[in-house]
Structure 1
Amino acid sequence: MSNSQEEADSNTVAIVAQPISTPASDESGNEIGKATLPPKGPKQRSKVWEYFEVYVDKEKGDIKGKCKYCQKEYAADTKKNGTSALNYHVKTCKKIPGNEDKTQSQLSLQPSGDDESTGMLSTWKFDQAAIRKSLARMIIVDELPFKFVECEGFKEFMHNACPRFKFPSRWTVSHDCFRLYTDERLKLKHYLKKNDQRISITTDTWTSIQQINYICITAHFIDRDWKLHNFFLNFCPISSHKGESIGRAIETCLLEWRIDKVFTITVDNASSNDVAVEHLKRKFINWGTTIANGKYLHIRCIAHIINLIVQDDLKDLDPAIRWVREAVKYIRSSPARLKKFKECADSVQVECKSTLCLDVCTRWNSTYLMLSVAEKYEKTFERFELEDLYFGVEVDANSKGFVDWDVVRRTITMLGFFYDTTIRVSGSLYVTSNTFWTEISDLLSAILEWTRSDDSNVKGMGTKTKTKFDKYWGNIDQMNKIIFFAVVLDPHEKFMAMEVSFCDIYGENEGTEVFERVKMSLYDIFKEYKNMLQIESGHSSETSPSSTTSSNESVGNRPRGHYKLIAKKRRIESGHVHAK
């Protein structure tokens, strides 16, 4: 061994605290030790040394570390420099196996529609911020709790799907959700300000189990492209269900959104809402943004009125409904009984696959669904009563009566009519204003049929329903005429269908008089809009966009209205249209 080699050995041994093997020299004359060569002190445990070869700079005497893969050099004296720079290099070095270029896009096949076998090829790259935003949107859309991000299953899934994703805490996700809400709120504010839409409002109030009063305010409008939009403007607690509190809450919400052009406000039939709408009407008149001085501002929710009518009818049908309710409750209270009931259904060859469901007494639609399923199992109930000796005794005792399946079937028929009507008028994905009067007139047509029935029970029920119907819709002056204007503006309806329905409901003379009053009201509001447009055109040189009629999307297969068919027949007879 040469003298210079011996000197290098002695220097290296002086630096390290443990014996090492004989080092070699690189091309520059620097002496290279083993990859795990540490400086003085305890034995190094960091995994970073697996990626570096440590050597001593002959000229300066400094300890250096050279990357095994890219040959880049770093100071490697852990007492002076630490290992932070080395660790960072290990994470970012593109030549180390397993490291990826985080800016490099990857190809991914995005499925088109429901067919996952076809799609479009696009590029994708990891983006922590974009994934966190999508995660926040998922929490909101799927109504998940914030702690979902801390669940073991979700973490395991994301670890396999996207290992580089850093999991946020539940608090971070809550902040992300609020930030997403704020961004969307600003976008909607800008959109409303830019387009200057006239908006219709719907509200709903309720009390939680913690006895906190809440109000939900929703905006509805049609844009310049004839697309219907629905947005939740606010969901917040209110001090009480008094009219002034509700009115002030809606006013505050509109001021925050800078909305001053409100066309209608739809509320339920509570008297407090009358006070709230009057409060808002005064505000809108002061703002100078009303139509016809707020004459058509207040619309009573049709679905809520139907609910009031049906709830009153169900009181007379309570014995039969109570028996079915107690029977379903008895069977569903035990897995063994439910299994036995299914065996009885198989033995009597009932093909219904629906499961017995128990209703909520305050929700008549759930009562309708319960009766609809139970009626299909009529023979099964009879067989089950033979198999279970306690069934009939306990159910009859709790219900204080017996079941009459004919009454149940009549109830299903009547409730079904109200149920289908409620579903149609409650839709939010399609326009409903032009169908309100058609639904009301069809409902009245069915009630009048019940009053003329030979069955005394049906006739009595129809008479009582007609009395309740007249309380809300019997007087045309108590109804908002906007629902009639929408009928006239519907190309499928126009004036004739409305005139036919008025004459049939109110009689020839009174019906004609009512029709003329509605027509004059429509002309008045038309003149008001005409004057408004003339004033606007006088201050602006811009031409208003031409209106186009878009075809209505199908909202479900159902027969045409009763009075619409009569009107169409009359037009055919008069030669105004050709029969199809």
Structure 2
Amino acid sequence: MLILDELPFRHVEGEGFMRFMRVVCPRWVEIPSRRAVARDCFSLYVKEKAQLKSALEGQRVCLTTDTWTSLQNLNYMCLTAHFVDSDWKLHKRILNFCLVENHKGETLGKAVEMCMLGWGISKVLTVTVDNASSNNLLIDFLRRKTKNRVGTILQHEFLHVRCCAHILNLIVCEDLKEMDDSICKVRNAVRYVRSSPSRMKIFQQCVEKEGIKCKSVVCLDVATRWNSTYMMLDGAEKFQKAFERLEEDDMNFLSTFRKGGSDKGGKDRWKHLGPPDMDDWDRVRVFVKFLKLFYNATLRFSGSLHVTANVFFLELILLQNAISQMCEKGDNSILSNMAAGMKRKFEKYWGNFDNSNMLLYVAVVLDPRYKLKFVKFWVGTCYEANKGKELLKKIKDALTRLHD
């Protein structure tokens, strides 16, 4: 119970827990102390670790790393292993969650190497990392230290996998920095509604008057996470009529925005943009439709309970086609400019095949639903002739060398 519910060890010494146990089990007089519970939890940890180490023995695993800095300015790294057991079941297990001195590549590489040694892992197929320069050094360190070990495939040529979800995040975030006024207006309207219980109550009354049956509530986004901006716009768009009625029912709503009306630039201008009008809501609907493609692709890329390597190429093609179609549409200049910026960044991250891991394409070829013909068709459709030939040559070469 303590582990599942993430309760502190002192929970067993609380008066409420003791009363509860006296009711459900009167015969249990001596409830263990926090120290006894801590010892039991550690014994369980040792037992589970031994079982996992036994399960990993001889397995070829794929590793993923995640790093971040806490509010206390402490650096953390999480290392996760993905492997298929003898019954062909995919498993995901966190191997290490630890403090690291810094986020330098060699520091992280040493931490990963020590973890591999501790778990007895010798066969690593890939290491998936965020698209950061420090992670290039991490991969170089691991490749240098482990490329000659028994069971290594082609001296770790395919070790480095750049996280597709992180690359999508970079593509969208860089483009949303040039934030459109319409998004700011919606953000300010949502911020106003959520700023106090009384304002939220008035807004809920507007929702009822307009007969909106949506059970969700408007949410404010986080500046550093574009997916939260998508969810904010997607949620707010459903309450368009309620926001329009709020202009009539709450006089403070309009006056809040008018306070900054004379400011032509700077931070204050963004704070007082609004409220959104009909044109703004039309733009928001277009934004939501466009961002939904990236949001759904990110969810599919981020799946950990099923294999995702074989869906990479298909998702890449779908996104590339969607961006190209948006660029060609001249009826919305903002969307066209946004799509053009994303297309340039798309080419930057995925246009250079030297930075692509051919195992992701090999996985598509080995998928019986797609095979090499599927790849040939879409490569011929989406790439220039010379570029397409270059990619197909790399894929076939990788297949041949892996087979040999």
* Shared fold, TM over 0.5: yes
Matches within 5 A, 1:434-473: 434-455=310-331, 456-473=333-350
Residue 413 (structure 1) aligns with = 289
1:189 partner letter: K
Retained in 2: the 8 A contact 1:213–1:238? Answer: yes
Residue 207 (structure 1) aligns with = 69
* Counterpart Cα distance in 1 of 2:27 and 2:222: 48
Offset at residue 351 of structure 1 (A): 1.7
2:18 partner letter: K
Retained in 1: the 8 A contact 2:287–2:335? Answer: no
More helix by share: 2
Residue 474 (structure 1) aligns with = 351
Match of 1:364 among 226, 235, 246: 226
Retained in 2: the 8 A contact 1:341–1:384? Answer: yes
Match of 1:374 among 218, 236, 243: 236
State the secondary structure of the residue aligned to 1:491.
Answer: coil
Query: 1:150-201 CA distances to partner (integer Å, 9 max, x unpaired)?
Result: 34433333222222333223333233222211110011112222xx111110
Match of 1:171 among 9, 26, 35: 35
Query: 1:255-296 CA distances to partner (integer Å, 9 max, x unpaired)?
Result: 111111110000001110100110000111243442111110
Residue 181 (structure 1) aligns with = 45
Matched, 1:422 2:294: no
Retained in 2: the 8 A contact 1:503–1:509? Answer: no
- Using a 3 Å threshold, how does the CA distance of structure 1 residues 145 and 320 change in structure 2: closer, same or farther? farther
Offset at residue 448 of structure 1 (A): 0.9
* Counterpart Cα distance in 2 of 1:425 and 1:363: 17
Offset at residue 338 of structure 1 (A): 1.0
Matched, 1:160 2:23: yes
Matches within 5 A, 1:36-435: 138-165=1-28, 166-193=30-57, 196-395=58-257, 397=260, 399-402=271-274, 403=276, 404-435=280-311
State the secondary structure of the residue aligned to 2:63.
Answer: strand
* Counterpart Cα distance in 1 of 2:49 and 2:116: 13
State the secondary structure of the residue aligned to 2:215.
Answer: coil
Match of 1:497 among 371, 374, 387: 374
Offset at residue 367 of structure 1 (A): 1.4
* Counterpart Cα distance in 2 of 1:146 and 1:432: 38
State the secondary structure of the residue aligned to 1:287.
Answer: coil
Retained in 2: the 8 A contact 1:452–1:459? Answer: yes
* Counterpart Cα distance in 2 of 1:411 and 1:145: 44
Offset at residue 469 of structure 1 (A): 0.6
* Counterpart Cα distance in 1 of 2:41 and 2:213: 47
Retained in 2: the 8 A contact 1:204–1:216? Answer: yes
1:405 partner letter: W
Offset at residue 410 of structure 1 (A): 1.5
State the secondary structure of the residue aligned to 1:366.
Answer: helix
RMSD (CA atoms):
1.6
1:510 partner letter: K
Offset at residue 509 of structure 1 (A): 4.4
State the secondary structure of the residue aligned to 2:307.
Answer: coil
- Over the matched positions of the two proteins, sequence identity in percent amounts to 48
Offset at residue 318 of structure 1 (A): 4.2
TM-score by length of 2: 0.92
Structure of greater Rg? 1
Retained in 1: the 8 A contact 2:148–2:155? Answer: no
Residue 118 (structure 1) aligns with = none
TM-score by length of 1: 0.65
- Using a 3 Å threshold, how does the CA distance of structure 1 residues 256 and 313 change in structure 2: closer, same or farther? same
Retained in 2: the 8 A contact 1:199–1:263? Answer: yes
Residue 384 (structure 2) aligns with = 507
State the secondary structure of the residue aligned to 1:492.
Answer: coil
State the secondary structure of the residue aligned to 1:430.
Answer: coil
2:387 partner letter: E
Offset at residue 490 of structure 1 (A): 0.6
Retained in 1: the 8 A contact 2:65–2:77? Answer: yes
State the secondary structure of the residue aligned to 1:240.
Answer: coil
State the secondary structure of the residue aligned to 1:139.
Answer: coil
* Counterpart Cα distance in 2 of 1:295 and 1:144: 44
Retained in 2: the 8 A contact 1:327–1:395? Answer: no
Retained in 2: the 8 A contact 1:150–1:169? Answer: yes
Query: 1:33-53 CA distances to partner (integer Å, 9 max, x unpaired)?
Result: xxxxxxxxxxxxxxxxxxxxx
Retained in 2: the 8 A contact 1:323–1:395? Answer: no
* Counterpart Cα distance in 2 of 1:461 and 1:302: 20
* Counterpart Cα distance in 1 of 2:4 and 2:221: 28
- Using a 3 Å threshold, how does the CA distance of structure 1 residues 164 and 365 change in structure 2: closer, same or farther? farther
1:156 partner letter: R
State the secondary structure of the residue aligned to 2:86.
Answer: coil
* Counterpart Cα distance in 1 of 2:3 and 2:182: 43
* Counterpart Cα distance in 1 of 2:110 and 2:324: 42
* Counterpart Cα distance in 1 of 2:138 and 2:387: 33
Retained in 2: the 8 A contact 1:503–1:510? Answer: no
State the secondary structure of the residue aligned to 1:497.
Answer: helix
Retained in 2: the 8 A contact 1:281–1:294? Answer: yes
* Counterpart Cα distance in 1 of 2:192 and 2:163: 37
Query: 1:79-111 CA distances to partner (integer Å, 9 max, x unpaired)?
Result: xxxxxxxxxxxxxxxxxxxxxxxxxxxxxxxxx
Retained in 1: the 8 A contact 2:350–2:356? Answer: yes
2:337 partner letter: G
Retained in 1: the 8 A contact 2:129–2:161? Answer: yes
State the secondary structure of the residue aligned to 2:283.
Answer: helix
* Counterpart Cα distance in 1 of 2:257 and 2:3: 44
Offset at residue 231 of structure 1 (A): 0.8
Q: Which has the higher contact order (CA 8 A, sep 6+)?
A: 2
Query: 1:343-379 CA distances to partner (integer Å, 9 max, x unpaired)?
Result: 1111122121111211111111111111111111111
Retained in 1: the 8 A contact 2:188–2:273? Answer: no
* Counterpart Cα distance in 2 of 1:509 and 1:247: 37
Q: Mark the runs of 5 or more structure 1 residues left unpaired by the alignment.
A: 1-137, 528-580
